[in-house]
């Protein structure tokens, strides 16, 4: 039997309802006002160029004596880890008694065109680590990397095992040539030298749209249809807009760093092959001998689980823990499920190793 | 006026707009449908879209600027929703009579899907088809690539937007093969090279768009199959939204199947590379023009930025080294201070106050030895014997000492009580020697322990070196 059993009057009614919601929804959206992001109180304790190191205000009386430095990716903005009250990984970590620092890379412009991965990893990250070590009078601190920031954290930890007590990676690509890695598949035949030599810094808008185009109908179409059904609830509409703000808040990528990352990591898969160099230092993941917690997302379409799981086979530690989160690349930070699962796990894992 | 506060939707007569599209909807009623338009409708033929566009045009200009793009996205997607729904709704009307017989609907369905494929792909320029029916494709990287790189270049790609190589290909080929001559030979060649590159990009873009059309066709095939399968399983679709979701699922699946192929990876690579080659050529031409006008060029700025970054890197390294040096000096200062203190303790231990003029442990040591050599008093000799351990045998020293001397030595050794006891038992001379030996042993044990523990050992090691 023909599966579409909708009468014309039902169609008219559905369209009318949808349009009413749309109009009412626009009314709601127009009255939402400014969208706040990055809710936890914090203080800038170190600045260099456009990079700012933030220290979050503790939320518990007693803290883990070893602070955690969160290294975010160069793509998009780090407030995703502190999106809103109740949807904040950072808030969860603070509640778990951790002393949290965060690197904010800022918005690179033409003057930052020649920043290399060496400048980011052996420069900015290293100096942030030293600032925290000095502030706390410690030889070692904990490092938590998010996505590309996780890859940077692995590189840093392998170069400076004497400065890192525990390493945590979240949705971090290590093996860039897994079968289901669509991003890697896309850039495999792109002449990245030609791209960077032509455009200089990589426009954030383009990068962002590339991510969205991995699932174009869902991410650029269907979700707006879903939104119409949420718009009668102001809070839900505000939540949606907050995510929307984050998704389209895409800094440009410093040209040289982008060139190195795409060429040596994505195209050559140098991290697992051991051919990556940061400055003059070869990266040997075997040097990662500190305890490692690797968290990845089962439905991650940007960093497939296999790309993250590969870490286990590359590092030299005897203390390795892996956790698979039942969600996607962003859900691991902002979903309500993640709030209950990720920060408490990280806090307790760290307290066991402090 | 604050844009954020204004709300263009508040006082808009939505009901009026609703009435308009409902009136239009009536035209779909049985007997009024124009069958010719069912398969060839363009977005402007669809009354729901007309109503939406009418409404949006009315409110768009009053929309807060910062959220206009976002509202636009929602409207675009709503348009797509209506268009997809429209296609299937028209189809349902077509088969409504047949539906009653429940027999031939499958043929009609196949026919309708064929019409839809034509609709989605028939345009001479496939991008036009995307612009109308598939809002999502409008946001595909290709379009964004062009827009993004256009804004990043002095010579935006759009200036050749209307230059379609397929239309002028034969002419172009001849034109491009003519060698540049005369005074403007060089610039002629540059323009020819530029057009060649642009032509190459346009061909690749055409190929890319055709590939995406293929995805659309595959998606429709998949949707057709799913509908048949639903019919077999007795499943029902009861709303337009379900139809839309089905359409999205099929497109995502078809797209995912294609993008993971080697063919797509190569095509995407070629697309980006040809566009970049074109852009770079344009940039070089602009740079040359700027250089001719004695203006700063992109190339020149790159050189400056590169050198500046190298200098900053050197500066950071130098600064770090300086800081390290300063810390080292500070450490040495504190070690010196500790050494001075230690000497003072040693001196005060001998009963003589520390010489305030002494500036270093070395000079301190030398002058003390000199003084010790000059002065031959019993108590002073005892001090010398302590500093220059091993030089004079403890027995000789003990012989020169009287009872008072022995007492002094025993105080210095700090093992006062035990020394006295020993002295009582073994005689004064032996007592003095034993206590000194004991102290010497204790000191070497302490040094050994500190060497093991690390930190303060370093200080001790430096003292020994000096």
- Nearest-Cα distance to chain A for B462, in Å, is 23
Q: What mean pLDDT do residues A43-56 have?
A: 97
Q: What are phi and psi of A167, to 5 degrees?
A: -115, 130
Among partner residues A3, A215, A224, which is closest to B252 by beta-carbon distance? A215
Residue B172 has pLDDT above 60, yes or no: no
Residue A293 has pLDDT above 90, yes or no: yes
Chain B residues in contact with A189 (beta carbon < 8 A) = 265-266, 268-270, 273
Residues B72 and B153 in one domain: yes
Q: What mean pLDDT do residues A48-76 have?
A: 96
If DSSP states are collapsed to H, E and C, what string results for chain B?
CCCCCCCCCCCCCHHHHHHHHHHHHHCCCCCCCCHHHCCCCCHHHCHHHHHHHHHHHHHHCCCCHHHHHHHHHHHHHHHHHHHHHHHHHHHHHHHHHHHHHCCCHHHHHHHHHHHHHHHHHCCCCHHHHHHHHCHHHHCCHHHHHHHHHHHCCCCCHHHHCCCCHHHHHHHHHHHHHCCCCCCCHHHHHHHHHHHHHHHHHHHHHHHHHHHHHHHHHHHHHHHHHHHHHHHHHCCCECCHHHHHHHHHHHHHHHHHHHHCCHHHHHHHHHHHHHHHHHHHHHHHHHHHHHHHCCCCCHHHHHHHHHHHHHHHHHHHHHHHHHHHHHHHHHHHHHHHHHHHHHHHHHHHHCCCCCCCCCCCHHHHHHHHHHHHHHCCCHHHHHHHHHHCCCCCCHHHHHHHCCHHHHHHHHHHCCCHHHHHHHHHHHCHHHHHHHHHHHHHHHHHHHHHHHHHHCHHHHHHHHHHHC
> Residue A49's closest chain B neighbor by CA?
B312
Residue A288 has pLDDT above 50, yes or no: yes
Number of other residues whose CB lies within 10 A of the CB of residue A330:
20
Q: Exposed, middle or buried by CB within 10 Å (0-12, 13-18, 19+), for B301?
A: middle
Tokens coding B124: 């001479």
- Predicted-complex ipTM score: 0.89
Total structural domains in chain B?
2
What confidence score (pLDDT) does residue B378 get?
43
What confidence score (pLDDT) does residue A213 get?
77
pLDDT band at residue B238 under the 50/70/90 scheme:
confident
Top-confidence residue, B53 or B202 = B202
Residue A52 has pLDDT above 90, yes or no: yes
Among partner residues B21, B82, B276, which is closest to A194 by beta-carbon distance? B276
What confidence score (pLDDT) does residue B176 get?
57
Tokens coding A167: 């390493």
Q: Are B432 and B406 contacting, i.e. CB atoms less than 8 angstroms apart?
A: yes
Residue B86 in any domain: the answer is yes
Residue A216 has pLDDT above 90, yes or no: no
Each residue's pLDDT tens digit, A10-29: 877 888 888 888 878 777 87
Radius of gyration of chain A (CA): 22
What confidence score (pLDDT) does residue A192 get?
96
Each residue's pLDDT tens digit, A69-114: 999 999 999 999 999 999 999 999 999 999 999 999 999 999 999 9
β-bridge partners, A102: A54, A70
Strands A51-56 and A68-71: unpaired
Strands A320-325 and A292-297: parallel
pLDDT band at residue B321 under the 50/70/90 scheme:
very high
What confidence score (pLDDT) does residue B60 get?
76
- Which residues of A are designated catalytic? 147
Mutation target to probe the A interface, by most A beta carbons within 10 A, among B263, B305, B455 is B305
What confidence score (pLDDT) does residue B100 get?
52
Residue A350 has pLDDT above 70, yes or no: yes
Each residue's pLDDT tens digit, B87-131: 666 666 665 555 555 556 777 777 777 777 776 665 445 444 444
pLDDT band at residue B329 under the 50/70/90 scheme:
very high
pLDDT band at residue B140 under the 50/70/90 scheme:
very low
Residue B221 has pLDDT above 70, yes or no: yes
What confidence score (pLDDT) does residue B361 get?
46
What confidence score (pLDDT) does residue A245 get?
87
Q: Read out DSSP for A109-176?
A: -GGGTT--HHIIIIIIIHHHHHHHHHHHT-S-EEEEEETHHHHHHHHHHHH-TTTEEEEEEES----T
Q: Kindly report the pTM of this predicted structure.
A: 0.72
Residue (of A182, A184, A207) closest to B259 by Cα position:
A182
Top-confidence residue, B434 or A150 = A150
Top-confidence residue, A128 or B4 = A128
Could you tell me how many CB contacts below 8 A there are between chain A and chain B?
222
pLDDT band at residue A311 under the 50/70/90 scheme:
very high
* Interchain proximity B238–A5, CB inside 8 Å: yes
Residue B418 in any domain: the answer is yes
In angstroms, how far is CA B444 from the centroid of its own chain?
57
- Phi/psi zone of residue B353: left (φ > 0), alpha (ψ -120 to 50 degrees), beta? beta
Cα-based torsion angle of the residue sequence A211, A216, A222, A225 in order, rounded to the nearest 10 degrees:
80
* A119: contact with B, CB 8 A cutoff: yes
Strands A292-297 and A281-282: unpaired
Among A5-9, B90-94, B433-437, B451-455, the minimum mean pLDDT is found in B451-455
Q: Are A316 and A292 contacting, i.e. CB atoms less than 8 angstroms apart?
A: no
- Host domain of residue B46: 14-262
Among B70-74, B213-217, B225-229, B436-440, the minimum mean pLDDT is found in B436-440
- Nearest-Cα distance to chain A for B191, in Å, is 18
Each residue's pLDDT tens digit, B1-21: 344 444 444 544 444 544 554
Top-confidence residue, A139 or A12 = A139
- Nearest-Cα distance to chain A for B37, in Å, is 18
Tokens coding B143: 């379009």
Residues B138 and B243 in one domain: yes
pLDDT band at residue A194 under the 50/70/90 scheme:
very high
Among B242, B262, B282, residue at a domain's last position? B262
What confidence score (pLDDT) does residue A63 get?
93
Residue A291 has pLDDT above 60, yes or no: yes
Chain B residues in contact with A122 (beta carbon < 8 A) = none
Each residue's pLDDT tens digit, A230-275: 888 888 888 888 888 898 899 999 999 999 999 999 999 999 999 9
Chain B residues in contact with A19 (beta carbon < 8 A) = 14, 17-18, 21, 51-52
Residue A155 has pLDDT above 90, yes or no: yes
How far is residue A35's CA from residue A77's CA, in Å, rounded to a whole number? 15
What confidence score (pLDDT) does residue B448 get?
52
Number of other residues whose CB lies within 10 A of the CB of residue B67:
17
Q: What are phi and psi of B453, to 5 degrees?
A: -70, -25
Contacts of B363 (CB under 8 A, 6+ apart): none
pLDDT band at residue A278 under the 50/70/90 scheme:
very high
When the candidates are 3.40.190.10, 3.10.20.30, 1.10.150.530, 3.40.50.1820, the CATH number that belongs to A42-352 is 3.40.50.1820
Tokens coding A343: 């920060």
Contacts of B239 (CB under 8 A, 6+ apart): A6, A10, A14
Among partner residues A8, A216, A241, which is closest to B255 by beta-carbon distance? A216
What confidence score (pLDDT) does residue A251 get?
95
What confidence score (pLDDT) does residue B370 get?
56
Among B219, B238, B262, residue at a domain's last position? B262
Q: Over pLDDT 90: what percentage of chain B?
A: 17
- Element spanning A296, H or E: strand A292-297
Helix axes A8-32, A223-230, angle to 10 degrees: 80
CB within 8 Å of chain B, chain A residues 48-87: none
Top-confidence residue, A10 or B358 = A10
> Residue A126's closest chain B neighbor by CA?
B320
What confidence score (pLDDT) does residue B460 get?
32
Chain A residues in contact with B135 (beta carbon < 8 A) = 220-221
Q: What mean pLDDT do residues B143-154 have?
A: 43
Radius of gyration of chain B (CA): 47
SS3 A334: helix
Q: What are phi and psi of A346, to 5 degrees?
A: -65, -45
Number of other residues whose CB lies within 10 A of the CB of residue B321:
10
pLDDT, mean over chain B: 65
How far is residue B418's CA from residue A145's CA, in Å, rounded to a whole number? 62
Among partner residues B6, B64, B248, which is closest to A221 by beta-carbon distance? B248
Top-confidence residue, A22 or B252 = B252
Residue B449 has pLDDT above 70, yes or no: no
What confidence score (pLDDT) does residue A4 get?
72
* Interchain proximity A217–B136, CB inside 8 Å: yes
């Amino acid at each position: 039997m023909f599966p579409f059993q909708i009468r014309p009057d039902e169609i008219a009614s559905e369209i009318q309802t949808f349009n009413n919601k749309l109009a009412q929804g626009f009314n709601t959206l127009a009255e939402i006002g400014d969208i706040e992001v990055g809710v936890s109180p914090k203080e800038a304790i170190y600045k260099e160029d456009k990079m700012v190191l933030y220290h979050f205000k503790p939320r518990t009386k007693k803290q883990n004596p070893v602070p955690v430095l969160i290294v975010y990716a160069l793509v998009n903005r780090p407030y995703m880890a502190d999106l809103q009250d109740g949807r904040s990984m950072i808030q969860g970590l603070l509640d778990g008694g951790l002393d949290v620092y965060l690197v904010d890379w800022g918005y690179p412009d033409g003057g930052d065109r020649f920043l290399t991965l060496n400048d980011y990893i052996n420069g900015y990250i290293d100096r942030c680590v030293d600032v925290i070590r000095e502030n706390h009078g410690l030889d070692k601190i904990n490092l938590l990397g998010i996505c590309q920031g996780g890859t940077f954290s692995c590189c840093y930890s392998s170069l400076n095992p004497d400065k890192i007590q525990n390493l945590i990676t979240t949705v971090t690509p290590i093996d860039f040539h897994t079968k289901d890695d669509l991003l890697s598949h896309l850039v495999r035949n792109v002449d990245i030298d030609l791209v960077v030599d032509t455009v200089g810094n990589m426009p954030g808008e383009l990068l962002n749209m590339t991510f969205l185009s991995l699932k174009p109908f869902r991410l650029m179409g269907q979700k707006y249809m879903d939104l119409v059904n949420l718009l009668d609830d102001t809070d839900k509409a505000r939540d949606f807009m907050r995510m929307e703000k984050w998704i389209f808040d895409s800094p440009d990528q410093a040209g040289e760093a982008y060139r190195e990352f795409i060429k040596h990591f994505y195209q050559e898969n140098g991290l697992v092959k051991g051919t990556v160099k940061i400055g003059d230092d070869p990266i040997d993941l075997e040097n990662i001998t500190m305890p490692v917690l690797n968290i990845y997302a089962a439905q991650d379409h940007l960093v497939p689980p296999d790309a993250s799981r590969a870490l286990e086979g590359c590092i030299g530690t005897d203390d390795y823990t892996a956790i698979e989160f039942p969600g996607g690349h962003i859900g691991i930070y902002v979903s309500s499920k993640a709030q209950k699962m990720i920060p408490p796990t990280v806090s307790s894992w760290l307290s066991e190793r402090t | 006026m604050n844009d954020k506060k204004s709300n263009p939707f508040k006082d808009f007569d939505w009901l009026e707009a609703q009435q308009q599209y409902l009136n239009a909807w009536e035209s779909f009623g049985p007997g009024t449908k124009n069958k010719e338009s069912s398969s060839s409708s363009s977005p402007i033929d669809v009354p729901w879209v007309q109503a939406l566009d009418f409404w949006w045009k009315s409110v768009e200009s009053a929309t807060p600027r910062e959220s206009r793009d976002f509202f636009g996205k929602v409207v675009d997607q709503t348009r797509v929703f209506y268009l997809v729904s429209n296609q299937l709704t028209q189809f349902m009307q077509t088969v409504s009579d047949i539906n009653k017989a429940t027999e031939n609907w499958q043929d009609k369905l196949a026919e309708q899907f064929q019409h839809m494929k034509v609709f989605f792909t028939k345009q001479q320029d496939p991008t036009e088809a995307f612009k109308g029916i598939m809002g999502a494709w409008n946001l595909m990287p290709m379009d964004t690539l062009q827009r993004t790189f256009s804004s990043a270049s002095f010579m935006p790609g759009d200036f050749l937007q209307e230059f379609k190589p397929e239309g002028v290909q034969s002419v172009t080929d001849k034109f491009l093969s003519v060698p540049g001559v005369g005074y403007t030979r060089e610039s002629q060649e540059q323009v020819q090279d530029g057009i060649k590159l642009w032509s190459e990009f346009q061909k690749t873009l055409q190929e890319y768009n055709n590939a995406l059309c293929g995805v659309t066709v595959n998606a429709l095939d998949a949707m057709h199959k799913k509908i048949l399968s639903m019919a077999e399983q007795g499943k029902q679709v009861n709303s337009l939204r379900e139809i839309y979701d089905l359409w999205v699922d099929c497109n995502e699946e078809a797209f995912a199947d294609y993008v993971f192929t080697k063919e797509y990876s190569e095509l995407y690579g070629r697309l980006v590379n040809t566009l970049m080659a074109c852009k770079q050529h344009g940039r070089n031409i602009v740079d040359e023009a700027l250089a001719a006008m004695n203006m700063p060029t992109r190339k020149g700025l790159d050189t400056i930025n590169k050198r500046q970054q190298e200098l900053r890197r050197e500066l950071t390294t130098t600064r770090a080294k300086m800081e390290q040096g300063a810390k080292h000096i500070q450490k040495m200062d504190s070690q010196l201070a500790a050494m001075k203190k230690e000497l003072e303790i040693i001196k005060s231990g001998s009963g003589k106050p520390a010489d305030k003029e002494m500036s270093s442990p070395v000079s301190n040591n030398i002058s003390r030895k000199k003084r010790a050599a000059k002065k031959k008093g019993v108590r002073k000799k005892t001090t010398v014997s302590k500093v220059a351990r091993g030089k004079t045998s403890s027995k000789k020293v003990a012989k020169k000492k009287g009872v008072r001397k022995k007492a002094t030595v025993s105080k210095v050794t700090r093992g006062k009580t035990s020394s006295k006891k020993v002295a009582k038992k073994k005689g004064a001379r032996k007592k003095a020697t034993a206590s000194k030996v004991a102290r010497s042993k204790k000191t070497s044990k302490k040094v050994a322990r500190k060497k093991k523990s690390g930190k303060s050992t370093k200080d001790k090691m430096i003292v020994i070196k000096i």
